[in-house]
Amino acid sequence: MILGIGTDIVVSHGEGGAPEVTLKGEADRRVRESGGRIQISLSHAEGLAVAFAIWFQET
């Protein structure tokens, strides 16, 4: 669990429309130090929305 990251995670859309994660501050530092990366998936239907994030650990 990552605590204390507040607004350090920004979700936007990339050139092709796919969701993109931009990390700042403490969140960026923690992911970079781990050698990992984050990908997300977003979906919505009939007033409901879901987001799924995966932290990939490079080995």
| Every domain of the chain and the residues it spans | 9-57
Q: How many CB atoms lie within 10 A of CB 53?
A: 13
Tell me if 52 sits within 8 A of 41, measured CB to CB.
yes
- What pLDDT, on a 0 to 100 scale, did the predictor assign at position 50? 92
- pLDDT per residue as tens digits for the range 4-31: 556 788 888 888 888 888 888 888 888 8
Question: How confident is residue 2, by pLDDT bands cut at 50, 70 and 90?
Answer: very low
Q: What is the pLDDT of residues 27-55, one digit of tens each?
A: 888 888 888 888 888 899 999 999 888 88
Pure H helices in the chain: 25-34
d(CA 33, CA 13): 25
